[in-house]
Structure 1
Amino acid sequence: MQTLSKFLSYKIKTIAIVDSSSSGPEVTLPYWDAEIAGFSTVHVPQELQTIPEIVAFIQEHAQAAICSHRLGSYQAPLFYGAELAASLYDAGIPTLLVTQYLEIDQHSSIRRWRDKLPVVLHLREFDFSTLRHYLDLCVSELQGHIPDSRIPYRVMVGVEHVEGVAGDQYVDVSIDYWDRYQRIRMPIEVFPAELRDQIEPGTWLFAMVNVGAQFAHELYFRDFTLAPEPQFDESLTYCVNVLDDINESENPFLWFEKQQVYAHQLEIEVFGASKDLYN
């Protein structure tokens, strides 16, 4: 785990490139853009087949990473790059996730780990002229400087539709506080295992969501708990920033450390003008 003092002066000299195999679904990452931008690059060896192995290699050889999403080959995928990028986030390593499949995978395999993916790019957006900016965004979030589009708020989420079969189910939800006219799709694995049997149309939940996001693919969801059906437009007004106390701390933890420390301490507040949600 990185220390705060190290991160305050964090410098990126070498970037690890985690690519799909030559027979894989993603086009080879243009690593030369990173070199044009002034960084050294190191390619993660294809023989490394597990997330812990790759994280350990990157910790030893680089200070940041750029990762394709659909790793491995068509026939033998390893795991999704989003999962690897989330593990690198937990290790305090700034990582860009780059994919040609953003429009498709944003609803499924990327959404599962979106809370730990500060920057997700379509391949066409990856360019030497913006690379340093995107890496700075990742470093800044790990330091605890969270942009408005990434700050989580406790809001109400309504289940609108469920489809698929066991092991491959998708849930469409509404977040009225964000946009009452739009629906967001996610895999059922985003929900805690103990709640999945209760996920059906008409179910209401509390969840932590970054409702400052501009686009649907930027939204993440976590810390779901069951909620009563809202009344008096509560779903349009219920929005609580339960992390204010640590976001404004004079001596903050790293952002990923905050999430671990405070995850079990999130409290739900009730607007005085609304009905008591617990009765």
Structure 2
Amino acid sequence: MIDVTRVLGSLQADTEPASIFQPITAGTRVGMIDDDPVAMRALSYQLQDVDMTPVEISLAGSPSLDDVLAKLQDNGCAAAVCDHRLRGGGHAQFDGAQLVCQANLSVGLPCILLSSWTAEDEATSIRRWRHGIPKVLSKRGRSPQDLIDALTVTRIEMAGERPLERRPFSTAVEIAELSYEAECQTAHVYVPAWDPDIPVVVPLDLFPIDVSQMPSEEVLGSFFIGKVNYYAREAGELFFRDLRISTLPPADWLPA
């Protein structure tokens, strides 16, 4: 039987360049970015347990994102592990998710994201950069091997071998609700190609227009077209790219 909701998405995904994957090896210098010295020390022990060489990257002086990326390169780091909430206490003016995304996509340095607040942040400040973050690990209960596995998955994706659940396809996104209560203004949307019955939270700043300034009757029920990895297994793994306004589909676009 044909899966109609999948057909709604484009059959053309973003193309991925072919490349040879080089595995993480013993002795790899791994940069650590965290504003919590206790968490940094625990991470250092775990990296040493799997024969990695931990390198502490200081956030003293509230460096810019570019400064931190430069420190990783200057210290000979071939990979990195970064905490998400770095803004506390004025340590940084960016979130860890942004740094991880830039390290992976712009610098070509495999980087994974750690967070103690995944449930709270995955739909907002993490989702904003999720297209460049193959793996997010909880700070609680992870093992040293989890770190190596996540870095390996990240390097494989950077080499062009992106798994199906991480490939973005063009598809429809419907706005069902707007929320202005949290620090991050969000929309609850439906992605029929992923699951037509489960709403997904998306930051409003991912949309090409300021929908917060539009009358609700014009926004609710409106459709956008964008690149979404709708083969993702969980809502927290979804990312949204290149959203643009779409015309309203016909009433019979899905079977009853």
> What TM-score do the two structures reach when normalised by structure 2?
0.80
The partner residue of 2:154 within 138, 143, 151 is 138
The separation in 2 between residues aligned to 1:74 and 1:11, in whole angstroms, is 33
Quick one: which amino acid aligns to residue 126 of structure 2? Answer: I
Map 1:191-210; keep pairs closer than 5 Å.
Answer: 191-193=207-209, 200-210=219-229
Quick one: which amino acid aligns to residue 78 of structure 1? Answer: Q
The separation in 2 between residues aligned to 1:217 and 1:115, in whole angstroms, is 12
The unaligned stretches of length 5 or more in structure 1 are: 237-279
The separation in 2 between residues aligned to 1:180 and 1:166, in whole angstroms, is 25
The partner residue of 2:84 within 65, 69, 75 is 69
Kindly indicate whether the alpha-carbon contact (under 8 Å) linking 2:63 and 2:92 is maintained by their aligned counterparts in 1. Answer: no
1:96 equivalent to 2:115? Answer: no
Kindly indicate whether the alpha-carbon contact (under 8 Å) linking 1:114 and 1:219 is maintained by their aligned counterparts in 2. Answer: yes
1:162 equivalent to 2:178? Answer: yes
- Secondary structure at the counterpart of residue 66 of structure 2: helix
1:51 equivalent to 2:65? Answer: yes
Shift of 1:127: 1.4
| Change beyond 3 A, Cα 1:154–1:191 | same
Tell me which residue corresponds to 1:17. Answer: 32
1:222 equivalent to 2:241? Answer: yes
1:34 equivalent to 2:47? Answer: yes
The separation in 1 between residues aligned to 2:113 and 2:182, in whole angstroms, is 28
Q: RCO greater where, 1 or 2, for CA within 8 Å and sep 6 or more?
A: 2
Kindly indicate whether the alpha-carbon contact (under 8 Å) linking 1:16 and 1:64 is maintained by their aligned counterparts in 2. Answer: yes
| Change beyond 3 A, Cα 1:50–1:21 | farther
| Change beyond 3 A, Cα 1:110–1:233 | farther
The separation in 2 between residues aligned to 1:36 and 1:166, in whole angstroms, is 40
The partner residue of 1:177 within 166, 171, 193 is 193
Kindly indicate whether the alpha-carbon contact (under 8 Å) linking 1:119 and 1:134 is maintained by their aligned counterparts in 2. Answer: yes
The separation in 1 between residues aligned to 2:193 and 2:221, in whole angstroms, is 17
- Secondary structure at the counterpart of residue 129 of structure 1: helix
> What TM-score do the two structures reach when normalised by structure 1?
0.74
Kindly indicate whether the alpha-carbon contact (under 8 Å) linking 1:36 and 1:128 is maintained by their aligned counterparts in 2. Answer: yes
Kindly indicate whether the alpha-carbon contact (under 8 Å) linking 1:97 and 1:119 is maintained by their aligned counterparts in 2. Answer: yes
Structural RMSD (CA):
2.7
